Amino acid sequence: MEQPIPPYLFAFAVGELGFREVGPRTRVYSEAVNGVLDSAAKEFAGTDEMIRQGEKLFGEYVWERFDLLVLPPSFPYGGMENPRMVFLTPTVIRGDSSGAQVVAHELAHSWTGNLITNKNNEHFWLNEGFTTYAERRIVEVVQGEDRATLNIGIGWRSLNEEVERFMDNLEFTKLRTNQEGVDPDAVYSRIPYEKGFQFLFRIERQIGRAAFDEFIKKYISTFKFKSIDTETFLDFLKANVPGIEKDIDLKLWTEGTGIPSDAYEPVSELYGRIRSLANEFKAGRIPREDEVADWKGQGWELYLENLPKSVEASQVLALDAVYKLSESKDYEIKVAFLELAISARCRHYYGEVEKTLKEVGRMKYLRPLYKALVQGTENEQEKVLAKRVFAEARKCYHPIAQGLVESVFAKYL
């Protein structure tokens, strides 16, 4: 490739790989085992349409190829945006094309992150906040406004949870952080993604989508193949949107802790209905099948994440008896359900918890399950289970994932 890239984007893969063509610019690669290759090709069949929509929104796709490599289950992230060949966890293969949302995120990096890169990790939000915004714009066009709104709602929930997680170190709830002497992996969170998205969405709401679209295109064309910092972005924003600092507190958004009061929790009929049904679960009401018919993966994810954590084991069993959530091929649903089961001490599912912790190494799933097992003072059985499973599964985890589990243990054991 002729295009320059920052060194963190350089990667290579070695293995007995097969591939399937899924578009004029896209192949899906993986080891030819367990039907993964065919399943991945089906899941990501709409990739070329996403590339075309991305070009309409953000300008030319300059990397020629957009190939996808499905890695073994030990890969600790959802995806990595290596130019020309994105790396993906096999957990994004869900059987209903909803895993393409992760592909939309990695594709969006082709403009925001790979084309314009944060100068260093203290400005990480410039990569991930912009990319989360761009991902949701692509999803809105390809999958519809309701799906994009659910995406925002799930992100809103995770932003609030992550801010709570860092209550004893609010520095890392800022967009522009001070990471001197800090291992970035130790403070990795969804905050740069979701608070960064919220900041850009706030600007869009202030100046209107049409004007913001023109701003984004100019921003990309001005800084492509460059590394920038937050100050550079803010100077460019103020120069191209005169008076914006009078309408939005830019310093509060970039240097303030927590969530600004003018952040946005989404509003839509589907989003409100799902949250309302989640609130009714505490009283014992399980949603009817006709009420969940249009949910797909994200609807269930939002529902489970909004359930009260103090539910009875009998309620967990009753919900699963109808919808078989513990057997879902969508790990977003499965892990959220198992986390609920652990919090209810519904030990019927601990075999499935152990199986899940041993078959996937994605940190997004390891953290909540291990944390649910070891936090609290009255769960010695769960702590014993967690330590045994980690001892047996450790060698199958990536070193970064091993460190994550160890940090959870250090905090709660």
Query: Any idea which residues carry the catalytic annotation?
Result: 106, 193
- Give backbone dihedrals phi and psi of 358, rounded to 5 degrees, phi first: -95, -15
Residue 128, annotated ligand binder? yes
Residue 398, annotated ligand binder? no
The amino acid at 19: F
Comparing C-alpha atoms, which of 317, 295, 314 is closest to residue 306? 295
How far CA 241 is from CA of 137, 198, 222, 232, in Å, comes to: 21, 18, 15, 14
- Give backbone dihedrals phi and psi of 183, rounded to 5 degrees, phi first: -80, 115
User: Hey, what are 273's tokens?
Assistant: 């209905």
Contacts 24+ apart (CB under 8 A), 251-254: 253/175, 253/199, 253/202, 254/174, 254/175, 254/176, 254/199, 254/230
> What's the rounded Cα separation, in Å, for the pair 207 and 191?
24
Report CA dihedral (31, 33, 39, 41) to the nearest 10 degrees.
30
Q: Which residues contact 178 (CB under 8 A, 6 or more apart)?
A: 122, 171
User: Hey, what are 48's tokens?
Assistant: 């070329």
- Give backbone dihedrals phi and psi of 261, rounded to 5 degrees, phi first: -70, -20
**Coil, strand, or helix at residue 228?**
strand
Q: Which H/E stretch holds residue 128?
A: helix 125-143
> What's the rounded Cα separation, in Å, for the pair 156 and 198?
9
Buried b (16+ CB within 10 A) or exposed e, 237-264: beeebeebeeebebeebbebebbeeebe
> What's the rounded Cα separation, in Å, for the pair 353 and 335?
8
Give the per-residue SS3 of 322-336. Answer: HHCHHHCCCHHHHHH
Residue ranges for the known binding site are 105, 109, 128
Q: Which residues are annotated as a binding site for Zn(2+)?
A: 105, 109, 128
